[in-house]
Amino acid sequence: MVKKKNIFVIFLFLQCSILSVAQDVHFSMFNMSPLTLNPALTGVMDSDFRIANIYRTQWKTLGDPVNTFAASYDQQLYFLPNNISAGIILVSDKSGGIQLVENRVLLSTSIKHIDIKNTISAGIQFGLGTKTFSTRDVTYPEQYSREIGQFNPTLPNGETALELSSMYFDLNIGALYKRRTNRGPFTIGTSVFHVNSPDDSFFKNGDGLKPRFVVHMDYDFNVTKTWSIRPSLLVMTLSKAQEVVGTMQLGMNMQPNDLNIKRIWGGVAVRSGIERNSDAFAPMIGVDLKHFQVGASYDVTFSTLQLANDKRGAFEVSLIYNSLSSAASAVQIPCDRF
């Protein structure tokens, strides 16, 4: 029994290492985490500054869950020309019982061209990432003792090139176009994460993070004065892995009220792949207040993984704070014609 448990732990470690490369950070409510979606979204907001937080936990039914947290702060830099914005983002990912932890701290900046109807933005993120894991509860094949018929953690593990921590420089870029229509904003963007292919491996063999390519679209428009819909699409590719997330939200615009509730919304996201079957769907609900946006979702697995996790996938919760805006609004001043 002990032997099987240790072999399973080693297998889990290898799988977590593979998943960290093939999956990377992703969220079902991707629109609630703008700076992990596209560096060009830095400062693309109707406020002076923004604080965004999102938390995701998944695969709890398989054992120790995978927990992902992202927090960001970005603001307008009105004292600089060319509509420059800047911010900072922290991403933390913790996987499994071997304490595989990855943290990234990145600076994010964008430059924008803005007119009454259009916004064109280009952004860049750069910073440091660290990855660590613990071998406290891990044994290796070389530590199996035939004398006692089980693994002996006091024996040499035979690993000479393995490091318990890794640090690397990370670079992301992105571009964005936003159109303000009479019914609502339409946004389309593209981004590339890990442009420099940083070596984050514990063996330092050059086999690290591959570039992740992202395309996203979003149209938040009012059907009537009361009802709005918001279709969104996210497409990501990383090496041979692909992910497609389609989201549809229905919102009810509220009349002025004492709670400052602007809109209540609900919807569903479906996760699939370009060359693979669908994986999960995620019902979601949320509320938009005067300054806050709150959302929650729950992934329901319907792929073959449901046999292991009993259809229970991931839970997400997000919170965004938008400040007031001190930017001057465009005003049309009537004048006499001669």
66-122: per-residue pLDDT in tens?
899 999 999 999 988 889 999 999 999 987 666 788 999 999 999 999 999 999 999
Does residue 275 have a pLDDT over 50? yes
Does residue 20 have a pLDDT over 70? no
Continuous H helices in the chain: 2-22, 34-37, 306-309
Does residue 148 have a pLDDT over 50? yes
Question: Tokens 């420059």 map to which residue?
Answer: 84
Question: Tokens 């989201």 map to which residue?
Answer: 247
Token pair recorded at residue 266: 């609900």
Does residue 212 have a pLDDT over 50? yes
Greater pLDDT, 263 or 135: 263
Determine the Cα–Cα distance for residues 285 and 236; give it in Å rounded to an integer. Answer: 24
Token pair recorded at residue 102: 């990855």
* CA-CA-CA-CA dihedral for 286, 53, 92, 8, to nearest 10: -20
Determine the Cα–Cα distance for residues 322 and 325; give it in Å rounded to an integer. Answer: 9
10-19, 32-41, 189-198, 246-255: range with lowest mean pLDDT: 10-19
What is the mean predicted confidence (pLDDT) over 140-157?
69
Non-local CB neighbours of 329 within 8 Å, separated by 6+ positions? none
Map residue 203 onto helix, strand or coil. Answer: coil
pLDDT value at position 139?
66
A 10 A CB-CB count for 22 gives 14
pLDDT value at position 5?
41
A 10 A CB-CB count for 276 gives 12
- The type of residue at 338 is F
* CA-CA-CA-CA dihedral for 230, 270, 61, 104, to nearest 10: -60
Does residue 264 have a pLDDT over 50? yes
Determine the Cα–Cα distance for residues 163 and 275; give it in Å rounded to an integer. Answer: 35
Does residue 14 have a pLDDT over 60? no
Domain 2-322: which topology?
A: Porin (2.40.160)
Determine whether 293 is exposed, middle or buried from the number of CB atoms within 10 Å of its CB (0-12, 13-18, 19+): buried
Phi/psi at 41 (5° precision): -80, -5
Question: Whats the size of the chain, residue-wise?
Answer: 338
User: Interior CA angle at 49 toward 45 and 51, to 5°?
Assistant: 95
E-assigned strand segments in 157-277: 165-180, 185-193, 212-219, 221-222, 227-238, 241-253, 261-272
Greater pLDDT, 309 or 275: 275
Answer yes or no: are the C-beta atoms of 190 and 174 closer than 8 Å: yes
Map residue 194 onto helix, strand or coil. Answer: coil
Determine the Cα–Cα distance for residues 47 and 329; give it in Å rounded to an integer. Answer: 12
215-253: per-residue pLDDT in tens?
999 999 999 999 999 999 999 998 888 899 999 999 999
DSSP one-letter code for 209: P
Q: Is the dihedral of CA 108, 114, 117, 121 positive or negative?
A: negative
DSSP one-letter code for 31: G
23-51: per-residue pLDDT in tens?
578 899 999 999 999 999 999 999 999 99
Determine the Cα–Cα distance for residues 206 and 337; give it in Å rounded to an integer. Answer: 70
